[in-house]
A and B are shown apart, each in its own frame.
Chain A
Amino acid sequence: MNAVELKGLCKKYKSKKSGTREFELKDVSLTLPYGCIMGLIGENGAGKSTTISLMLDIIEKDKGEISLLGCNTAEERVKAKDDIGVVLDEPCFPVYFTAVQINKIMKSTYSKWNEEQFFSYLERFDIDQKKIVKKLSKGMKMKLSIAVALSHSAKLLIMDEPTSGLDPVVRNEIVEILLEFTREPTNSVLISSHIVSDLEKLCDYVAFIHKGRVVLCDEKDRLLERYATVHCTAEEFGRIEPSSVKGSIETHYGVDAVIERTAIPDGMDFEPVSMEELFVLFVKNRHLS
């Protein structure tokens, strides 16, 4: 059973002025099993937020199938949203509301809203309950969003760039909270970010989105086992089977490449790949002419 299943999801945005195609999400397919954390990695404008918006029915899809917690239609997903905690990249609560007022709203919104849990999170996150949202720092606002998302017994957390713009201490705290959340075997998290180091600490699965396409989607450990980084000369790089190269950058000092370990020529030095290298080389993949 999967918490999230996306099959062939497509969405086109057209430019308002020219009517030409501005952005296209092409054939996005993902599967997130229960109890796992999946990271959506991609550069800005790659299509991460669009994918999440489609999943949550904030925007309408052109094509494809979405299944959240086993609910396949938009009507079913409205009910499923009771079990889905959402954290968007920017907290969207009315800015003149306090955490106490937000509690009132959410109490009437989520059937399983746990007031005590919410206030215990507020205490834990050191959020002033009487302070209006406007006066909270960005980190505090994000923590407030997370507190809301975690206080209604959600089974699935969908988070869009929750750590962007936050300092490392707060980011680390959020990572810890999410790890704690997934200790429960039925809880799952789908998190998008371009801060790969955070996802590396957190994720079981990783999906790379580049220019509206999922270019890689696998278990994180398997990816790290499967690929390696090589730093070699252009001549040495020429000896590598091209189909095994997932990304490379040619510099004046040689070539940095991510390749499948099985295709590394004998005697060539290689290093374990980090998620960040994998991401950067996948995205850049350029050569000097």
Chain B
Amino acid sequence: MKKALVNQWHIVNRNFSLLFWFSVLHVLQLAFGFAVISDGFVIAALFSCLLSDGYAAKWKYYSRVLPISVFERVTASFIFAVAEMLIAFASILAASAKALGIVNALLPLADFDVLPDGVFTAVVAVLYFVAASIITSFCFVASHLFKRVLPILGSTIIIMAMFFLLIFLIVLNFETFLPAFLSAMNEAPWLLAFVAVFGLLLLPASWLAVLGIETVNNSRRKKHFFICAVIVLLISVLSLGAEIGYSYSKGYIDLPENNEEYLDGNETTTQPTASSAEVEAEKRIMNKLSDFLADGMAVDLTFEELDKRMESIGYIREGNKYVGESSKTEIGVTGDDTVTEFTVYNKSSCNTAVMTLEEYDSFSQKYRLGMSETDFLQLLEQENIYIGDVTEYYDFADGYEDRVIVRKYNIYIHVSRPKLVGYSSNAGMTVDYHTLTVHIADGKAVFVKMY
């Protein structure tokens, strides 16, 4: 048996290598959120086609003249066929996970009222998975039974089914989808580049690899696979568009014209641009400081107590300032026996933040961390803080665009809007990232950061 297994292994090794690399490719596709809805299915179908040829009929014939018993040969073939099927099935699973994400992303566009969104999405996703699995399994089994014709038919059915399903989902809310899609593509050229590079190059490259396989060496099949590749490519582009469209319709993609409504007619000044490393360092410091300050700093804080607190977040006092992690940020402190003034100066952004402890104390009681943006803005209104003229426009190098809200008491509130900074197409969801920084001007200010 060992002999037969080793023998079979060498023969199917090529298929395994290919399966392995396709799996890697597929995982990469998923990891990077490529909107390739159906490649897993098609690849599975392809493998079933390959397996239908086995490792060439001639070899099967020849293997009978080798000193391997029928039982050994059949058993070894079976073991490897099952292994190959499992890998193909894993590919289906991966593709289904992807499909689930896509369906999840697309269904809200359809605005179904029949069932709650979550339930409906789950039902459709399961049905989708089951249907695709059945078709692919059918294709797989058929390929073994009928060798040539049905796998081709099967893979065609799968591709067409995927295509029509996608079209169906899109058409359900065509009016929402198309403008969103076009607009997103128009306004985000990097997405076009993304599609161009990964959609137009990577996929055909993988298909070409498939075409290079020994068993796919007749021109009719090449033509068939080429057509499949084109269809898959179209589906990929469309599904990517659907995801973008959805993101746009949900406001996760922030188009420049939306910002203009905030900026229009206002004086805009551009602050010196910080490098992303500096921005990161600044963020870290702000985090620590806000945590530190929010931790209920007492009004009559002694220098000794403040030193301890500052040391706990990595700052050491040198004279009347604290020096810590970032050379860009200096923290000044004044007072006689107790601390009366606390200044944060950030060289990179040229921001100075000063506040009295009394001011901080009263402010921090009201504006706790973790508050939603809406709640926060409501609180500002209650405190007669209004969203008014923009006097400053700050644009970090990393692409965060912050609009500035001005308070009548010269309190500058920096609110970075929800941004599409993380994008996981696996789940078809965007990740919101709120950064709320409050500056109190007039020589005294506080920094608060909110996620």
Contacts and interface: CB of A to CB of B under 8 A. Distances in A.
Interface stretch (A84-92, A118-126, A240-248, A275-283): A84-92
Contacts of A94: 11, 55-56, 59, 214
A86 B68 contact: no
B69 A75 contact: yes
B155 to A, nearest CB: 22
Contacts of A109: 3, 7, 66-68
Nearest to A105: B10
Nearest to B60: A92
A4 B7 CA distance: 28
Nearest to B3: A108
B6 interface: yes
A10 B65 CA distance: 20
B65 A81 contact: yes
A81 B68 CA distance: 8
Contact of B67 (A78, A88, A134): A78
A57 interface: yes
A239 B418 CA distance: 115
A96 B50 CA distance: 14
B76 to A, nearest CB: 11
Nearest to A110: B67
Nearest to B13: A101
A73 B11 CA distance: 28
A58 interface: yes
A56 interface: yes
Contact of A93 (B14, B59, B64): B59
A78 B55 CA distance: 22
B6 A92 contact: no
A104 B68 CA distance: 16
A101 B17 CA distance: 15
Interface residues of A, number: 26
Contact of A95 (B62, B67, B214): B214
A46 B14 CA distance: 39
A90 B56 CA distance: 13
Contacts of A79: 67
Contacts of B65: 56, 58, 81, 84, 86, 88
Nearest to B2: A108
Interface string A109-135: 111000000000000000000000010
Interface string B51-75: 0000110110110111111000000
B11 A105 contact: yes
Contact of A92 (B62, B67, B68, B214): B62
Interface string B9-43: 01100100000000000000000000000000000
Contact of A58 (B11, B61, B214): B61
Interface residues of B, number: 19
A75 to B, nearest CB: 7
A142 B186 CA distance: 61
Interface in B341-392: none
A82 interface: yes
Nearest to B69: A78
Contacts of A58: 61, 64-65
A101 B67 contact: no
Contact of B64 (A56, A96, A104, A110): A56
Interface in A142-174: none
Nearest to B73: A78
A96 B11 CA distance: 10
Contacts of B14: 96
Interface string A192-210: 0000000000000000000
A82 B69 CA distance: 11
A109 B62 CA distance: 12
The CB with the most chain A CB atoms within 10 A, among B56, B62, B65, B67, is that of: B65
Nearest to B56: A94
Nearest to A80: B67
A57 B67 CA distance: 11
Contact of A78 (B11, B68, B214): B68
A93 B62 contact: yes
Contact of B214 (A56, A96, A105, A111): A96
A173 B64 CA distance: 27
A198 B69 CA distance: 34
Nearest to B14: A96
Contacts of A111: 67
B141 to A, nearest CB: 24
Nearest to A90: B58
A84 B66 CA distance: 9
Given A58-B61, A92-B61, A81 B67 contact: yes
Contacts of B59: 92-94
A75 B3 CA distance: 16
A104 B10 contact: yes
Interface string B63-105: 0111111000000000000000000000000000000000000
Interface of B: 3, 6-7, 10-11, 14, 55-56, 58-59, 61-62, 64-69, 214
- Nearest 7 CB-CB pairings of A with B: A92-B62, A108-B6, A81-B67, A92-B58, A96-B214, A86-B65, A82-B67
Given A93-B62, A111-B67, 19 more contacts: A56-B64, A58-B61, A75-B69, A78-B67, A78-B68, A79-B67, A81-B67, A86-B65, A88-B61, A90-B58, A92-B61, A93-B59, A94-B214, A95-B56, A96-B14, A96-B214, A104-B10, A105-B11, A109-B3
25 contacts: A56-B64, A56-B65, A58-B65, A75-B69, A78-B67, A78-B69, A79-B67, A86-B65, A88-B61, A92-B56, A92-B58, A92-B59, A93-B62, A94-B55, A94-B56, A95-B56, A95-B214, A96-B14, A104-B10, A105-B7, A105-B10, A108-B6, A109-B67, A110-B66, A110-B67
